[in-house]
Amino acid sequence: MQQEGFASFLLRQARVLDPEHHRDETADILVSGGILKEVTPHLNIRETGLSNVQEIDLEGKWVAPGFVDMHVHLREPGEEYKETIESGTRAAVAGGYVAVACMPNTHPVNDSSAVTRFIVDRARERGSCHVFPVASITLGSRGKDLTEMGELQEAGAVALSDDGRPVMDSMTMRRALEYSRTYNLLVISHAEDLSLAANGVMNEGPTSTLLGLRGIPAAAEEVMIARDILLSQLTGAPVHIAHVSTEGSVSLIRNAKNLGIQVTGETAPHYFTLTDDAIMKFDTVFKVNPPIRRHRDVEAVKRGLADGTLDAIATDHAPHSSLEKDTEFEFAANGAIGLESALPLALGLVREGVLSPLEMVAKLSRNPARILGIPLGSLETGKPAHLTVIDPEAAYVLDAETFQSKSRNCPFHGWKVQGQVLMTVVDGRIAFTRLNL
């Protein structure tokens, strides 16, 4: 019996990468009725008793648990001209993601259960993948009064962050960590000391001096990471550091982990790929916050990924229109879209020998799912099927004009890359595919 709306399909002879079960082997995968039925070296269709099973030959391709992006901006409610939950999740499945966690800096800010519920409902109606709202730590993300975290959790929030802004006041951050612990709600820190960042527009270094642009020193990030690590130690609450970009940040997190402090960290592809020299022509597509840094920071971020200091690769997908980007460099908004370019850049780390394929998959799926406490990121038979199918070899040119996102602010537009998402399966349905089925 085939369930309504669900097809049965058999993925033949792909390289199956499942970090949760330490599995890296060639196997067949059977999905039926939305459920992951079998993962086994060789499957005989007749023995399954199923009819109408579509067989898809995936020799040379990879299958991973569906990717989870723990840091995106979907811009809805309020800035639907940049992105909507509908377009953002279409971009997500095109990039191999079966779930995204969306940051609260919408208009209005997601600081109430009404907004959280709106996001959850809208995602259910129009989303191509799962959407997990991150609610704000403080009302309006103004850094003063705590949000009603218990109610936000009931409405569907999986974590808390004032992303885009730091919680500058240390006592407020302490209280946030203590109070959120009541509900086991993770606090995600956007680590930026605003007084040190001093309205800077790029990394502080030789390039900012050369270009006469105000710099943001690495210390603006590191001071806050150090503070939040100490507050995590003080309160016993875990803290997750968003978009780690500097050498010093990586070593602070590494040391804290060695001390047994419950800190986790993520970085984004632009931080392990780009240096601030990219700004030499004042191209605002490279304006992000934290800013892209120096070569030694890029290398340190890679080492942090390799040794496990940095647990996750997120995209910090931040859509902006030409209104925010086609301006003077100083006045341009921070942010780059990333959902549809993350995989080939992450695969670059595999080709460089920084990560094994299994480690890369862990940082794109299992680890962010674990950090957020959501039941994704592993291949569990008998559970809804969430899969990402990859062609690791496909070589092509990234073309932002073809992206599903509403925005075009992709710093990698025109790059020759290798590795492509072939298919994304969400709850057993093919939510995206490049294959001719």
Output 93 or 279, the one with its CB closest to other proteins.
279
Query: Which of other proteins, Zn ion, none is residue 190 near (CB under 5 to 8 Å by kind)?
Result: Zn ion
Rule CB under 8 A: choose which of 143, 166, 215, 265 binds other proteins: 215
To the nearest 10 degrees (0 to 180), the angle between helices 218-235 and 247-258 is 20
Residue 353 has a CB neighbour count (10 Å cut-off) of 8
The interface partner of residue 248, options being other proteins, Zn ion, none and the CB cut-off 5 to 8 Å by kind, is none
User: What mask of x and - would describe binding to Zn ion in positions 175 to 214, judged by CB under 5 A?
Assistant: ---------------x------------------------
Q: Which of 18, 162, 276, 316 is catalytic?
A: 316
Nearest distance from C-beta of residue 224 to other proteins, angstroms: 20
Q: Which is nearer to other proteins, 114 or 280 (CB)?
A: 280
- Closer Cβ to other proteins, 180 or 203, answer by number: 203
Considering only the stretches 60-68, 120-128, 205-213, 420-428, report the one whose residues sit in contact with other proteins under the rule CB under 8 A: 205-213
State the binding partner of 209 from Zn ion, other proteins, none, CB within 5 to 8 A by kind. Answer: other proteins
Does 199 engage in binding with other proteins (CB under 8 A)? no
Determine whether 316 is an active site residue. yes
Q: Is residue 329 a contact residue for other proteins (CB under 8 A)?
A: yes
Question: What is the SS3 string spanning 247-306?
Answer: HHHHHHHHHHHHCCCCEEEEECHHHHHCCHHHHHHCCHHHCCCCCCCCHHHHHHHHHHHH
Contacts of 113 (CB under 8 A, 6+ apart): 148, 151, 152, 154, 155
Q: Does 293 bind Zn ion (CB under 5 A)?
A: no
Partner from Zn ion, other proteins, none contacting 270, C-beta within 5 to 8 A by type: none
- 213 near other proteins, rule: CB under 8 A: yes
**Distance (Å, rounded) from C-alpha 143 to C-alpha 171?**
10
d(CA 219, CA 400): 33
User: Could you give the CA distance from residue 80 to residue 75 in angstroms, rounded to a whole number?
Assistant: 6
- How many residues sit close enough to other proteins to count as binding (CB under 8 A)? 20
Question: HEC string of 369-400?
Answer: HHHHCCCCCCCCCCCECCEEEEEEEEEEECCH
Catalytic sites, residue numbers: 316
Applying CB under 8 A, which residues contact other proteins? Answer: 204-206, 208-215, 217, 281-282, 326-331
